[in-house]
Amino acid sequence: MIVILKNESMTFPAMHEWALAEGIISTADKFAKENNITSITEIHIMIGELQQVEHDIVEFALEQLRTPLMKNTKFIIKAIPAKFKCRNCGHEWTFITGDFTEDVSEAIHFVPEMAHVFIKCPNCGSPDFEVSEGRGVWLQSIKGIKDD
């Protein structure tokens, strides 16, 4: 859902979240065109919590990047908690933000797979785990008015 941004300072759009928003906009726009959608009403986005992407910034970027097909689009963002499953011992656990130093958070923020460099399975110590949920930014679905 679109909320009024709490903070529209100019530092916002410079963040790398902008690049992720660009991917969503261009993918949705392309998909709509390919399917003769003349107006996109909703775009559903899932953001995994592992990456600690700032939703405000993503929303701000989405607003700025609206294409002609997105004049009235509602952007609906859902946060997905990060879950891990160890391939070595089968242990499952969830992501706890406070566990990391700022450097580590930064690395995972840009490249989530750096989790395998810095996080170990709390049960067996292995870096060989799967991020079973909550990785990355995904375009879940779009809704629109079709012209056929």
86 binds Zn ion (CB under 5 A): yes
Question: Which among 8-16, 20-28, 33-41, 132-140 is the span making contact with Ni ion, rule CB under 5 A?
Answer: 8-16
DSSP 8-state assignment for residue 69: G
126 binds Zn ion (CB under 5 A): yes
DSSP 8-state assignment for residue 35: T
Q: Encoding tokens for residue 132? A: 């079973």
119 binds other proteins (CB under 8 A): no
| Least distance between other proteins and beta carbon 148 (Å) | 21
Cβ(134)–Cβ(83) below 8 Å:
yes
Look-up of token digits 């530092």:
11
| Least distance between Ni ion and beta carbon 57 (Å) | 7
83 binds other proteins (CB under 8 A): no
Question: Which among 34-42, 70-78, 92-100, 133-141 is the span making contact with other proteins, rule CB under 8 A?
Answer: 133-141
Phi, psi (degrees; rounded to nearest 5) at 18 = -55, -45
91 binds other proteins (CB under 8 A): no
Whole-angstrom distance, CA of residue 44 vs CA of residue 11: 26
88 binds Zn ion (CB under 5 A): yes
Strand order in the sheet with 129-133: 92-94, 83-86, 129-133
- CA 71 to chain CA mean position, Å: 22
Question: Which among 33-41, 75-83, 91-99, 119-127 is the span making contact with other proteins, rule CB under 8 A?
Answer: 119-127
Closest CA to 116 of 40, 50, 68, 71: 50
Binding residues for other proteins, rule: CB under 8 A, are 13-16, 18-20, 22-24, 26-28, 30-31, 46, 61, 87-88, 103, 106-107, 110-114, 116-118, 120, 125-128, 135-141
